[in-house]
Amino acid sequence: MRTPNWNRCNPACANISRTETHIDRVREQPAQIDADCADPHLPYPQRRRLGQCRASREKLIQEHVTSPDRVAGKDST
């Protein structure tokens, strides 16, 4: 019996499960993206792509926070 290969997991898959540890890591990413976007020499296409990545991370966080399947008593920020 083979187990799933987590390295190929698709973040858009409906079966994905995220723990608080995963979301804590995702919460750190918008600040790094903002720092990268602050570079005045960053080309516009890259800045736009980073903006899309930031929006994606914010959406993941929001979906996690509002998920009805979350364990009660966890961080609700």
Per-residue pLDDT at 27? 94
pLDDT tens for each residue of the chain, 77 residues long: 566 666 666 767 767 777 888 899 999 999 999 999 999 999 999 999 999 999 999 998 998 888 877 665 554 44
What are 48-55's contacts with CB under 8 Å, separation 24+?
Answer: 53/29, 54/29, 54/30
pTM for this predicted structure: 0.68
Per-residue pLDDT at 74? 52
Q: What letters, b where the CB count within 10 A reaches 16 and e where it falls short, cover 14-33?
A: eeeebeeeebeebbebeeeb
